Structure 1
Amino acid sequence: MKKIIILLLATILFTACEYDNYDAPSVTFSGQLLYNDKPFLCDGNDARDIFLFFQEGFGKVDWGTKMHTLADGSYQQLLHSGEYKLTLGNVKYPFEINEFPAGTVGYDSIYYDLKKDVRQDFHITPYYEISDLDAKLEGINIVAKFKVKKVSGTSKPAPRIVKARIYLGINYFVNSKS
C-alpha cells in the first residue's frame, strides 16, 4: 500500500510540472550607452542597475526586472515575449539619458511590444567630463591629477561635485563594489 501511495504522489508531482511552468524567456533586449556616438564607460557595479522593465497584467504586482549595465556601457536582458515598459530607477544619476527626460518626480517610460530581439542604444549626456588623468605612486601615496569640465547641453543644472573617488585593484577592471 505504501508503494502505491508513493508511486501515485510521484506521478502527480511530475505531471503537474508540465502544466504550471512557463516557457523560458526567448527575447533579448540589448544595446549600448553612447556619449558622442562612442561607448560610455560606467561603473559596472551590478548593485547599481540603471534600467527597469515593468510588465502589467497577469494579476501580479511587478517590482520590475532590473537590467544590468556593464562597465563598457553595454546591456543585455533576456525576457519573455510580451508588452513591457522600460524606465530608469528613481535615483539621481551623474548623467542624463536623452531618451528619458526627467520630470519633477521620476522618469518617463518607453513602451515595447517584445516579439523578437530588440537592439536599442541610449544616448548619454554626462554632467562632467574627466580628462588628462595622471596617476602615480609616490612613496606609499597614490597621487592622481585630472581635469574636470562641466558639460553643456543638459536639461538640468549639473549637481555640485562633493567628492571624487579613485578605485584601485589588482584586476583588469575595478568598480565601486569590488
Structure 2
Amino acid sequence: MKKIYYLLSLLLVVCFTSCELDNYEAPNINLVGKVVYNGRSIYVRNNQVTFRLYEPGWELSSSTYMNVQVAQDGTFSAGVYGGKTYKLIRQNNLGPWVNPTVNDTITVNNYHGEVIEMPVTPYYLLDDATADCNGRLVTASCKITEVTPGQSIEKVGLYVGRNIIVDDIRNLGAGGYSEVTGVQAGQTVSLQVDLSGFSINSTNASLPQTGFIYARMGLKISGIDAMIFTEPFKLAFSE
C-alpha cells in the first residue's frame, strides 16, 4: 500500500507541475526593429546575420537568449512579452560592419510594439544604385563609398533571381550573376548579366513565367562572410 500511495503522490506532483508549465503565457507581441546607419536601412543576405535577445533578470548563458535573424531589408522581429525589458546584443564578426562595444547593447524598456533601431557602422556603403533590364540583359551599377577605413574589398557582384529574396547564394545559379574583384573605394561599379541562355519554366535555375526577375548588387569585405547589399530591383524581361 505504501508503494501505491507513493506512486500516486508522485503522479499528482508531476501532473500539477505539468499544468503549471502549460499555464505559462506564450509571447503576446512581436519585438520589431531594423538595422540602420544614420537612419538608413542596411541590407544584408536574408537570415545570415543574427543578434542575441536577452531578458534581464535571467543569468546570461548559452540557453537564456534568443537568436534574432535579420531579413534582407535589415528588419528583424521576435516574439516577446509586452511590457517587459529586453536587451539586444550584437556579436563580433557577424555583419559587414564595425564590431560592437558594450555601449552598443540596446536596452528596450517596457516594450509595447515600437520599432527598435539597431545602429551599426558599416565599412562600405553602396550608393546611387540603379538596375534595368533591356530584353534579357540586366545592367546595374552603384558607387562604393568607404565609411570606415581599414578593410579591403574582396569582390562586388550583381545577383539575379526569380524572387525578391536574392543574394550571392539565392540566385539563378551559373550565368545568373556577375562578380568583379580589384574594386576600390570611390569607384562606380557597373555589371551585366545576360539571361538569354535561360529557359522559362518553374525550376530554380530558370526564368519565372511572371515575366519579372529581381536583381541587386552586393559587396564582400575580405575576411568577413556577411555582405552588404543594395535594395532588390524588380525588373521585367522579354520572352
Post-superposition shift, 1:42? Answer: 1.3
**CA deviation string 1:2-36 (max 9, x = no partner):** xxxxxx9xx96876532223210124321223344
1:18 aligns with 2:10: no
Q: 1:102 aligns with which of 85, 89, 100?
A: 100
Paired residues of 1:45 and 1:176 also in contact (CA < 8 A): no
User: Percent identity between the aligned chains?
Assistant: 23
**Cα deviation 1:122-169 (Å, max 9, x = unaligned):** 3344322224556688xx997765431213xx5xx3411122233221
Q: Is the 8 A contact 1:45 1:177 kept in 2?
A: no
Alpha-carbon shift at residue 86 of structure 1 (Å): 1.7
The residue identity in structure 2 corresponding to 1:53 is L
Select 2:166's aligned residue among 154, 159, 174: 174
1:1-178 matches, cutoff 5 A:
17-21=18-22, 22-38=24-40, 40-49=41-50, 51-55=51-55, 61-63=61-63, 64-80=65-81, 82-96=84-98, 102-103=100-101, 108-114=104-110, 116-133=112-129, 145-151=141-147, 154=148, 157-178=149-170
1:10-66 Cα deviation digits (max 9, x unpaired):
x9687653222321012432122334434x1412421322x2112455578344211
In the alignment, the residues of structure 1 paired with residue 26 and residue 159 of structure 2 have an alpha-carbon distance, to the nearest angstrom, of: 38
Q: Which residue of 1 aligns with 2:230?
A: none
**How far apart in 1 are the matches of 2:49 and 2:157?**
16
Which blocks of at least 5 consecutive residues in structure 2 are unaligned?
A: 1-7, 171-239
Structure 1 pair 135–58 and aligned structure 2 pair: CA distance change class (3 A): closer
Counterpart Cα distance in 2 of 1:158 and 1:107: 22
Number of aligned residue pairs: 156
Letter in 1 for 2:107: Y
Root mean square deviation, CA, Å: 3.8
| 3-state SS, counterpart of residue 47 of structure 1 | coil
When residues 16 and 28 of structure 1 are mapped into structure 2, their CA distance, relative to the original with a 3 A threshold, is same
Q: Is the 8 A contact 1:55 1:84 kept in 2?
A: yes
TM-score calculated relative to the size of structure 1: 0.62
